[in-house]
Amino acid sequence: MDETCTVSHDCALGRLTGLNQNGIFRFAGIPYGWAQRWRLPQPAEPWQGLLDATRFGPVCPQAPHRLDRVFGQHPAGQSEDCLSLNIWTPGLVERRPVMVWLHGGAFVFGAGSQRLYDGRLLAAQGVVLVTLNYRLGAFGFVALQAASDGALPSTGCEGLADQLLALDWVRRHIADFGGDPDNVTLFGESAGAMSIGALLSAPSARGLFHKAILQSGAAHIGQDPVRAEQVGAALLAALNLTRSTAAQALARPAHAIVAAQSVVQRNSRNGRHRLGTLPFQPVVDGTLLPQAPVAAIRAGAAAGITLLSGTNRDEWKLFTAANPRLRLMRKEYFRGRITRFAKDSAAEMLAAYEGPSAFEQFNAFMTDKVFAEPCRRLLEAQARHATCFAYRCDWSSRFLGGAMGACHGIELGFLFGAYRARLPGTFFGRGAAADALSGALRTAWTGFARSGEPGWPAYEPNTRQTMILGNAPPRVVNRPQEERRLAFAPIADLRLGP
């Protein structure tokens, strides 16, 4: 039976009231900062009176997304005043390991308050869980300085700066909520994991977290300044503004910015402006991100930070399984795509992706190109400087008759427990095997947060030991999908987006 009551609590910033949910305290919508549009965030000030922390705060303005039905709508609406965080803790006195979650959403949608990210189950295993909102899309990841001749100040790293400010808030204040500021694990999925890949390389992030878990996202991101200026110019054009009138964008309502962002995304997907499939992403601005993240990590920028990183077996099927046109893909099309991508090593790559259909080959290739290979390269870069662990999730979704396989995001429902709910359970799956996977994930993740050990051998570049989690009992394998890894070996560093 779900028993919930309100509870009041004092912290250094003021007094607040939250909820006690069956012995887990939840404090929601706590402001960690504020920001003017396209400017760096500033720390939140102590509040006056009693802060109502029983409800989540508003989320960054964003367009609706088809995954909202599974991941949950945003309960508090949208606002540019969105820099808040949420805490689940099993106690308010004893210092416990802290886990800070960065949500995914392609850098353009999502929130830390989505139903999918309920922190009670993880907190019940003895950690303090923090989720947060940060600025997205055209509010947090677009560089407008060059495109506006300096009239608009954004560098394209405002969203990362928000995440850094939230981590600094955790360092200063999490002890008031039973957390240990000297044992902070940053974890995230998809764009959240890619954000962590960027923060691992950021000098200003040093000391703010001590371990990291990257789920289906790595460090092969970072828009170069030339392309970033093109994205900024495309956003201004979508707002019907020019360099000389760019300052007017500061007064445009948030919904107009979101609409312009959607125009840029549509044009980018159809190749009109050649901005790539992820036009809104962190920018290598020379300050917060001095260089491409994976290169900085390879050189030791994150030395000493223990990593747990992995992917799902069929990541790309989240984006293709429901598309009947792609299911009719011809093998000639797939061969042409591989030839253009791999050039002189196309024959070896085609051999590595032999399969029953072009559709299956395409999904396997895109899973590796966007997720698995960047993950492997991150692990090999960081293994020079710290202990690393690898996993792969092979649980297949039962949705659409199993057509989605172990797709992107499939592990989330089990990690946070949303698979037990009716609608999400239709997507993730239920039953004894689902319960076992959920327990294994939560035990490994919280164990890693506690001690830096998830419960299996460390990743070594020679053996590439990887824990396989899914329908079957967990098992460690050496060099999984080695032929596919070798096929990517001649390809230079992959950059997500172009």
Residue 423: per-residue pLDDT: 80
Q: Which fold has domain 1-224+277-302?
A: Rossmann fold (3.40.50)
pLDDT for 470 equals 95
**Tokens read off for 178:** 């039973």
Cα separations in angstroms, 333 against 273, 326, 361: 23, 11, 11
Instruction: Find the length of the chain.
Output: 498
pLDDT tens for 327-372 read: 889 999 999 999 999 999 999 999 999 989 999 999 999 999 999 9
Q: Residue 431's Cα: distance from chain center in Å? A: 27
Strands 84-89, 24-31: pairing is antiparallel
Rounded alpha-carbon distances, angstroms, from residue 156 to 32, 58, 192, 197: 20, 22, 16, 16
The per-residue pLDDT for 422 is 83
Q: What confidence tier does 75 reach under pLDDT thresholds 50, 70, 90? A: low
Q: Do domains 1-224+277-302 and 320-498 have the same CATH topology?
A: yes
- Which residue do the tokens 């990257």 mark? 214
Which position among 315, 360, 373, 411 bears the catalytic label?
Answer: 315
Cα separations (Å) of 460 from 107, 170, 301, 379, 388?
31, 32, 19, 9, 8
Decide: 297 and 381 in contact? Cβ < 8 Å. Answer: yes
CA gyration radius, the chain = 22
What pLDDT does 272 receive? 58
C-alpha span between 284 and 374 (Å, rounded) = 18
Average pLDDT of the chain?
Answer: 94
Entry pTM: 0.96
Q: What digits encode the pLDDT tens for the residues 51-64?
A: 999 999 999 999 98
- Residue 498 confidence (pLDDT) above 70: no
Angstrom CA distances, 353 to 141, 334, 342, stand at: 34, 10, 13
Q: Are 28 and 86 in contact (CB under 8 A)?
A: yes
pLDDT of res. 327: 87
Q: What is the CATH number of domain 320-498?
A: 3.40.50.1820
Query: Residue with structure tokens 């395409």?
Result: 362
| Cα separation of the two ends of the chain | 50
Give CA separation, 445 vs 117, 129, 439, in Å.
15, 12, 10
Q: Strands 466-469, 475-477: parallel, antiparallel or unpaired by DSSP?
A: antiparallel
Q: Give the mean model confidence (pLDDT) for residues 236-246.
A: 97
Contact by Cβ (8 Å): 40, 160: no
65 catalytically annotated: no
Residue 189: active-site member: no
Kindly state the percentage of the chain with pLDDT values over 70.
Answer: 96
Regarding predicted confidence, which is higher, 250 or 325? 250
pLDDT in tens, 161-204: 999 999 999 999 999 999 999 999 999 999 999 999 999 999 99
Which residue type does 486 have? L
Q: Which of 74, 158, 408, 411 is catalytic?
A: 408
**pLDDT by residue (tens digit) across 477-493?**
999 999 999 999 999 86
Between the alpha carbon of residue 41 and those of residues 80, 136, 188, 497, the distances in Å are 12, 13, 21, 26
Please check the confidence at residue 68 and state whether its pLDDT lies above 90. Answer: no
Q: Which residue has the tokens 């979101």?
A: 258
265: CB partners within 8 A, 6+ apart: 108, 279, 280
Domain map (residue ranges) of the chain? 1-224+277-302, 320-498
**Is 408 an annotated catalytic residue?**
yes
Q: Residues 439-469: pLDDT tens digits?
A: 999 999 999 999 999 999 999 999 999 999 9
pLDDT digits (tens, 9 = 90+) for 247-293: 999 999 999 999 999 999 998 876 556 778 899 999 999 999 999 99
Identified catalytic residue from 84, 148, 154, 190 = 190
